[in-house]
Amino acid sequence: MGCFFAVKRMQRWSLVTGVATLALCASTSLFADFNRLGQLQSKGFSISAEARLLDADAGANALLGSITPDRQLSPASVTKAYLSAAALNRFGPQHRFTSQLVSSASIENGVLRGDLVFEGGGDPGLTTENLWRLVQRLHLAGVREVEGALVVSQWRFGSVDCITTDRCNALTRVANAYSAPLSSAGVNFGSWCVNVAPATNAGEPAQVGLCDSQTSLITIDNQVITRPANSGTEISAERITDERGDVMRLTGQISTNATARDVYRGAGDAAETTAQVLMGMLNQAGIQVREAWRVSSSQPPSSAQRLAAVDSQPLQELLLRIMNYSNNYMADVLALDLVETPQAQLRQAGQAIETYAHSLPGHGPLTLYSGSGLTTENRTSAQGVNVMLEDMFRQSSLFPSFVAAFQSPANGVMRFIRRGSSTFQNNVMIKTGTLNQPFAVRAAAGYFRTAQGRWGVFSVMVNGNGSTPYLSWTEVLDPLSQDLEAMMLAN
């Protein structure tokens, strides 16, 4: 009946078109299962998949399709959907994280007679803009000089151990931004940003500088050469940490008529990066700090008074960036915020999310070592993911903030999901997850609307192993979009 009502609503369709569509619907209903996606099993891939309706009548079968739905597999970044649900249930959509400048010292004639402490508030989205406002508010409070040092306090999490190969390797060298180190006092997602622009003349070195500071906070080893117009632009970047501190090494070329490029790479230490950035801002604001900066994992004394503060964006807005861009740094900082005791580690953060999921009737086993999904030990089932998705759907006060963080394939920021028919692209809300090492993971979960406007949930996890071939997203999204389309048209 779903296809009949869908055709009936299309009043401008001709009789021939309507009959043809009814025939198509009749044929697709015969294949409304995960039969296309399931063919990946013949190539050695493990699959856990389930799709079902959320508004089925009592006694009706809500299940539309499944493949070993209780099988425990890696969800990769679909973990972030669990994180989002747990955070919304814990904090609420309008929660904000506060970072502040405090001191136990007095201010005399514009001089702070002691240390100035930046107390990180565990803000996953703290940026240079926030720090500028913090410094401006300190200036408005009358501070013009700090007799002591700038101390960056990351006491909420302490020093977070690296538990993934990517993050551990990134302590000394990294060529990406997704494995940035974690801190409750980190800024700019624990990364450095360098702007690369062409010089006036071909053959000259490109013009480079930090995106957010006129001060040379780190060494930039610039080996990018300007080439004639239309020569193409290829830039490689690597952050190396040695006796000089963090060094951004840039190689490649940029055309004279190319636009400037921003290049992001994870920092060696997130709290130290904040200290360098904040110190540079204080200097630019005319606030002199006499002693060198330092990082601390100790909580400021109870006698410390607030001098300036800045709030994060509301949680619902932070979740948009975490989910849309699958930001691992933001996700794991938010996960650490869920741990009630200070000096938290990622496994504790994962356990906090597990505690939330285990409160959902019928969820089943869940193992999480992070909130980002970057940890390869994470395990859940398609059936479990759907239980979580349905629970959020039933919470009218939280669901709008939750589902808003999922993407529509038709216009989401991730272009690789723009596959399949218009039915799929315009009626699915999706979060994806990807891992390539030590085995391939392609995961997707979310909501869909059927031809009758009914709501459904789906979850799919495809995991490889040491002997399976490379798995592209095309090999997963193409059959998945066809399978889901058949289910949507048949209901």
The confidence score (pLDDT) of residue 216 equals: 87
Statement to judge: residues 188 and 207 lie in one domain: yes
The confidence score (pLDDT) of residue 59 equals: 59
The DSSP letter of residue 205 is B
Statement to judge: residues 305 and 373 lie in one domain: no
Residue 24 lies in a domain: no
The confidence score (pLDDT) of residue 55 equals: 84
Statement to judge: residues 289 and 359 lie in one domain: no
Statement to judge: residues 88 and 105 lie in one domain: no
Statement to judge: residues 180 and 247 lie in one domain: yes
The confidence score (pLDDT) of residue 214 equals: 84
Residue 26 lies in a domain: no
Of the residues 292, 311, 330, the one at which a domain ends: 311
- Angle at 488 (CA atoms; ends 483, 490), nearest 5 degrees: 95
Statement to judge: residues 300 and 320 lie in one domain: no
Residue 343 lies in a domain: yes
Task: Show the low-confidence residues of the chain (pLDDT under 70).
Answer: 1-32, 57-60
Q: Which residues contact 26 (CB under 8 A, 6 or more apart)?
A: 3
* Overall domain count for the chain: 2
**Which CATH number belongs to the domain containing residue 79 in this structure?**
3.40.710.10
Residue 10 lies in a domain: no
The confidence score (pLDDT) of residue 32 equals: 62
Q: Which residue range(s) make up the domain with 409?
A: 31-93+316-489
Statement to judge: residues 81 and 135 lie in one domain: no
Statement to judge: residues 247 and 287 lie in one domain: yes
Q: Which residues contact 427 (CB under 8 A, 6 or more apart)?
A: 448, 449, 450, 488
Residue 475 lies in a domain: yes
Statement to judge: residues 452 and 341 lie in one domain: yes
The 234-242 sheet, strands edge to edge = 173-174, 234-242, 245-255, 219-227
The confidence score (pLDDT) of residue 22 equals: 47
Of the residues 311, 336, 370, the one at which a domain ends: 311
Statement to judge: residues 167 and 292 lie in one domain: yes
Of the residues 311, 334, 360, the one at which a domain ends: 311
The confidence score (pLDDT) of residue 66 equals: 98
- 48, 382 contact by CB (below 8 A): yes
Token readout for 127 is: 């940026």
Statement to judge: residues 279 and 325 lie in one domain: no
Predicted TM-score (pTM) of the model is: 0.92
From CA 358, how far away is CA 360, in angstroms rounded? 5
Residue 11 lies in a domain: no
Alpha helix (H) residue ranges in 298-454: 315-324, 328-337, 346-358, 382-394, 399-403, 422-427
Q: Which residues contact 248 (CB under 8 A, 6 or more apart)?
A: 192, 194, 218, 219, 220, 221, 237, 238, 239, 263, 265
**Which CATH number belongs to the domain containing residue 154 in this structure?**
3.50.80.20
The confidence score (pLDDT) of residue 215 equals: 84
Statement to judge: residues 204 and 298 lie in one domain: yes
- 206, 254 contact by CB (below 8 A): yes
